């Protein structure tokens, strides 16, 4: 099949590359000329394990191409996937669909034969209806079909999630479109991916509902962690005990600094905004959002307690600053709020992250990136384990720091309290 992918961000690039690896002819379109030129040269704009190899392989095989010419790409394709960003609007909970409708406008002008237009982007329920209405003002409904096909890709595991998904959700009542998309995903279905055909509105809502439920699990266990600290109970015992219940499951029951990234924060907010528009209250999700927003203040208070109220001129090292390991994504990372707060209190902050330097902290005078763990940790007063990259799991902290007067605040509960205490390290956990 000839596939056009509009948007070469995280979702678009992974989707396009994986479809090309399944043998389809794919063109990825973006209006960023520099990004397109870099992709042609094999330079990948995101950190995702295994993605660079697949890009080079399929580009060399000519199954994958990159361009800025959206009009030509739409005309030459059978399937058009919309994979542009839908961020939260400023000073609002609603999703910003500006990029969606800009793309739709271009598509509508370039439908020259039968097309299936697929929204991969996470969009509020009824967005597909609006897209269909806009295109039908310029083209006959016989020429196109609008389908919702939400993505369920985890950063750091995206290729595996695409190739071996839990489910493939296709939102359409058009039998021809459903048949074609089922054929597209056939190799993945044969590997065990469950195929679900629903209404378009249901597909749109499935994505938001799934992410909101997982975000709620995280907020829940973090609140239980707060209680555990008060009653001197290990939160990990609670997580394990709850997770053994098959009705609950162990995933997303690990206490930490709160959820972040490109999905959970914006999707929970967008779902609340949608509910408000339809005069429906989502009190549980609203509580989860509020709880997560307060999480940063709780962490900051804990840091102050560890430092005995003396933050000024303290040398604080962050190990990892991304919202999760195996990605360079800083969106909604707890570090984006914690580090400025500590900097304002006069702390001297160093950080190391395997994914590299972050522009988010470039403007801060006393926030310094080091490309070696040893350099970042040297002479620290407090080490904060913020992101659970694998290379942080077996560190010799005393050797790294160079003195014994430091503390470790493990926000991911990577280490054992007993082991750290036996080694004479002042250790604190969630």
Q: Which two tokens stand for residue 88?
A: 């939260």
Q: Is 282 exposed, middle or buried (0-12, 13-18, 19+ CB in 10 A)?
A: middle
Please, which residues bridge with residue 408 across strands?
383, 427
Strand, helix or coil at 86? coil
Q: Which domains does the chain have, with CATH numbers?
A: 2-198 (3.40.50.720), 208-295 (1.10.1040.10), 307-429 (3.40.50.720)
Q: Which two tokens stand for residue 237?
A: 């015992």
Query: How far is Cα 55 from Cα 64, in angstroms, rounded to an integer?
Result: 8
Please report, for residues 259, 293, 298, 318, 338, the alpha-carbon distance to residue 332 in angstroms, rounded to integers and kept in the order given: 8, 10, 16, 16, 11
Q: Choosing from 18, 228, 263, 377, which is the catalytic residue?
A: 263
Burial 164-198 (b: 16+ CB within 10 A, else e): ebeebbbbbebeebbebbeebbeebeeeebebebb
What pLDDT shows up at residue 381? 98
Strand, helix or coil at 255? coil
pLDDT in tens, the chain (430 residues): 999 999 999 999 999 999 999 999 999 999 999 999 999 999 999 999 999 999 999 999 999 999 999 999 999 999 999 999 999 998 899 999 999 999 999 999 999 999 999 999 999 999 999 999 999 999 999 999 999 999 999 999 999 999 999 999 999 999 999 999 999 999 999 999 999 999 999 999 999 999 999 999 999 999 999 999 999 999 999 999 999 999 999 999 999 999 999 899 999 999 999 999 999 999 999 999 999 999 999 999 999 999 999 999 999 999 999 999 999 999 999 999 999 999 999 999 999 999 999 999 999 999 999 999 999 999 999 999 999 999 999 999 999 999 999 999 999 999 999 999 999 999 999 9
Q: Which two tokens stand for residue 165?
A: 């998904």
Using the structure block, give the residue that is written with the tokens 């994505």.
207
What pLDDT shows up at residue 91? 87
Nearest 10 degrees: Cα torsion 287, 289, 291, 292: 160
What pLDDT shows up at residue 307? 96
What pLDDT shows up at residue 294? 97
What pLDDT shows up at residue 198? 98
Helix 51-60 to helix 10-21 angle (10° resolution) is 50
What pLDDT shows up at residue 55? 96
Q: Is 210 exposed, middle or buried (0-12, 13-18, 19+ CB in 10 A)?
A: middle
Query: How far is Cα 47 from Cα 328, in angstroms, rounded to an integer?
Result: 5
Please give the order of strands across the beta sheet that includes 367-369: 367-369, 348-352, 315-319, 382-385, 407-410, 426-429
Nearest one of 376, 400, 268, 253 to 320, comparing CA atoms: 376
The count of other CB atoms within 10 Å of the CB of residue 30 is 23
Helix 51-60 to helix 33-40 angle (10° resolution) is 80
DSSP 170-237: EE-S-HHHHHHHHHHTHHHHHTTPEEEEE-HHHHHHHHHHHHHHHHHHHHHHHHHHHHHHHHT--HHH
Strand, helix or coil at 116? strand
What pLDDT shows up at residue 368? 97
Nearest one of 389, 391, 429, 382 to 410, comparing CA atoms: 429
What is the number of alpha carbons within 13 Å of residue 215 lying toward its C-beta? 29
Tell me if residue 4 is catalytic: no
Which residues, 6 or more positions from 72, have their beta carbon under 8 angstroms from its beta carbon? none
């Amino acid at each position: 099949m000839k596939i056009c992918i509009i948007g070469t961000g995280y979702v678009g690039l992974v989707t396009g590359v994986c479809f090309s690896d399944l043998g389809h002819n794919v063109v990825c379109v973006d209006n960023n000329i520099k990004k397109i030129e870099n992709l042609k040269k094999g330079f990948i704009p995101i950190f995702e394990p295994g993605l660079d190899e697949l890009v080079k392989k399929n580009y060399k095989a000519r199954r994958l191409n990159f361009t800025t010419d959206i009009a030509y790409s739409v005309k030459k394709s059978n399937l058009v996937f919309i994979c542009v960003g839908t961020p939260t609007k400023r000073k609002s909970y609603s999703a910003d669909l500006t990029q969606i409708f800009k793309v739709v406008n271009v598509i509508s002008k370039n439908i020259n034969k039968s097309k299936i237009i697929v929204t991969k982007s996470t969009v509020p329920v009824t967005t597909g209806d609006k897209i269909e209405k806009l295109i039908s003002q310029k083209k006959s409904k016989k020429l196109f079909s609008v389908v919702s096909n939400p993505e369920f890709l985890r950063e750091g595991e995206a290729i595996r999630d695409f190739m071996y998904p839990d489910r493939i959700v296709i939102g359409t009542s058009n039998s021809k479109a459903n048949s074609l998309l089922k054929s597209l995903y056939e190799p993945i279905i044969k590997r065990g991916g469950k195929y679900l055909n629903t209404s378009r509105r249901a597909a749109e809502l499935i994505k938001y509902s799934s992410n909101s439920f997982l975000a709620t699990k995280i907020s829940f266990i973090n609140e239980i962690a707060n209680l555990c600290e008060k009653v001197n109970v290990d939160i990990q015992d609670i997580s394990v005990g709850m997770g053994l219940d098959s009705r609950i499951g162990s995933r997303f029951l690990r206490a930490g600094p709160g959820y972040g990234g490109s999905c959970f924060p914006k999707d929970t907010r967008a779902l609340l905004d949608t509910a408000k528009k339809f005069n429906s209250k989502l009190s549980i999700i609203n509580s989860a959002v509020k709880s997560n927003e307060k999480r940063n203040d709780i962490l900051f208070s804990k840091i102050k307690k560890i430092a005995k109220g003396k933050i000024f001129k303290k040398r604080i090292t962050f190990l990892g600053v991304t919202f999760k390991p195996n990605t360079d994504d800083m969106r909604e990372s707890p570090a984006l709020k914690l580090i400025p707060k500590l900097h304002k209190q006069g702390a001297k902050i160093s950080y190391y992250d395997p994914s590299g330097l972050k522009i988010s902290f470039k403007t801060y005078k006393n926030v310094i990136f080091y490309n070696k763990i040893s350099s970042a940790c040297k002479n620290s007063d407090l080490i904060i384990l913020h992101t659970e990259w694998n290379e942080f799991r077996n560190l010799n902290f005393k050797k790294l720091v160079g003195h014994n007067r430091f503390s470790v605040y493990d926000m991911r509960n990577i280490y054992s309290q007993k082991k750290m205490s036996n080694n004479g390290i002042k250790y604190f956990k969630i």
